[in-house]
Amino acid sequence: MNQIGKNHKTLLLILSWAIWAVYTPALADEFEVFDKLDDQVEMGADDSPVEEEIEHPSWFKLSFLDMRDDLQEAKDADKKGIALYFGQKNCAYCKALMEINFKTPDIVRFTRKNFDIIPIDIWGGKLVTDLNGETLSERKLAIREKMNFTPSFLVFDTEGNEVLRLRGYYPPYTFRAALRYVAEGRYKEESLRAYMDRADPPGKFDLEDMNEQPFFLKPPYALGRTKIPAERPLIVFFEQKSCHACDILHTGPIGDKDTVEMLQQFDTVQLDARSDDPVITPQGKRTTANDWARELNIFYTPALIFFDENGNEILRLDSVTRLYRLKGVMKYVLTKAYEQYPTYVEYRYGRRDAF
């Protein structure tokens, strides 16, 4: 690129940031702070279970696990609701949550002010009473709520309405914005995707191309498979231009030889979640990549959506994803383990119990 081109690109970046900052000044200030923290989210290819046990912060609520009481106490304390934290003791992603997000003073202050965090061990046997009065073990609760990946959060407002699900680990800025979405009551007016559209500065994703791979199918994107079943399962990669997390996915997990060999057993499609590229969805609906991403409430990229040969969604990876987790999910899909274990968390329980 010549100097004029570089100057033009820089000018576009400055203008897009300036316009965005005028309309969302608070979010712009937050992004400057949290963008530096997001750079710490570099777990590389090693997201395998860690040796040391992960402990949650002492300020997490010491609960008797009756959610009705927990909700009333949060309400009495003038908080915005309660959040069930689903974790496990040797989870690399949980470690990132504790050592990055919950070591950030602003996130800690904001979370403690607005929510009571109630820890749930997805392998645990303690009894939990939900808001409807049903009592079940931590493990069965995780299965019922399809908490396939840790850390995950299930957030309820003070009226007991479920208002947010976060599946997996999110970098500090995205995590803080999602909590703010609830605390400010934005969930009453708009989807999380719509809120994050305003929270993300345009300059982040408008200036560079996406990462191409030889195994991605080329357009037209006719993904319908309800009338005539496909021969292979499908992965839809929702990404964005100038997406740092997308770059890491391609240079890390997708750069692994064994991963590529597994990916070649799927039909794989890469879509720009912000584009108007025409798409026929696996269910046969004509739409655009942007509208489909909105319908699926995709608010974080990269997001990988897995479909079976008949166009049914199996599960999704829509949070930070590294090698160990990606390979595990692909194996779950390729072996059709979902026919025996409807959720990935049940599959993991089954494999663990087998040993």
How would residue 242 be classed by pLDDT, with cut points 50, 70 and 90?
confident
Q: Is 143 a residue whose pLDDT tops 50?
A: yes
Scan for tokens 């309660």, then name that residue: 82
The whole-angstrom distance between residue 253's C-alpha and the CA centroid of its chain comes to 17
Same fold across 67-199 and 221-354:
yes
Helices in the chain by DSSP H: which ranges? Answer: 3-23, 25-38, 67-76, 92-99, 105-114, 138-144, 172-183, 192-199, 244-251, 257-263, 289-295, 323-334, 344-354
Q: Which residues sit opposite 154 in a β-bridge?
A: 84, 165
* Residue-level pLDDT at 6: 39
- Quote the pTM value: 0.86
Q: What would the mean pLDDT of 335-354 be, rounded to a whole number?
A: 86
Cα gap 303→274, rounded to integer Å: 13
Cα gap 28→260, rounded to integer Å: 38
CB 263 within 8 A of CB 215: yes
Q: Which residues sit opposite 117 in a β-bridge?
A: 83
Query: 221-354, superfamily in CATH?
Result: Glutaredoxin (3.40.30.10)
- Model confidence pLDDT, tens digit, residues 73-122: 999 999 999 999 999 999 999 999 999 999 999 999 999 999 999 999 99
CB 179 within 8 A of CB 115: yes
Tokens found for residue 312: 């049914």
Cα gap 305→45, rounded to integer Å: 20
End-to-end CA distance of the chain: 57
CATH architecture of the domain covering 67-199: 3-Layer(aba) Sandwich (3.40)
Closest CA to 168 of 105, 106, 85, 229: 85
**Mean predicted lDDT score pLDDT of the chain:** 87
How would residue 46 be classed by pLDDT, with cut points 50, 70 and 90?
confident
Tokens found for residue 308: 């079976």
In the chain, domain spans: 67-199, 221-354
Q: What would the mean pLDDT of 146-153 be, rounded to a whole number?
A: 96
Hey, CA dihedral for 259, 263, 264, 265, is it positive or negative?
A: positive
Question: In a 10 Å sphere around its CB, with 0-12 CB exposed, 13-18 middle and 19+ buried, how is residue 307 labelled?
Answer: buried
Q: What CA–CA distances, in Å, run from 126 to 87, 129, 130, 194, 345?
A: 14, 10, 13, 37, 17
CB 79 within 8 A of CB 115: yes
For residue 93, give every residue at least 6 positions away whose Cβ sits within 8 Å of its Cβ, in sequence order, or none: 43, 47, 149, 150, 151, 168, 169, 319, 320, 325
Cα gap 63→73, rounded to integer Å: 11
- Model confidence pLDDT, tens digit, residues 251-273: 999 989 999 999 999 999 999 99
Long-range contacts of 349-355 (CB under 8 A, 24+ apart): 349/139, 349/143, 352/123
Q: What would the mean pLDDT of 301-309 be, rounded to a whole number?
A: 97
Tokens found for residue 75: 């309400």
CA dihedral of 209, 96, 93, 298, whole degrees rounded to 10? -40
Cα gap 261→134, rounded to integer Å: 45
- Model confidence pLDDT, tens digit, residues 152-173: 999 999 999 999 999 999 999 9
What phi and psi, each to the nearest 5 degrees, are found at residue 326? -60, -45
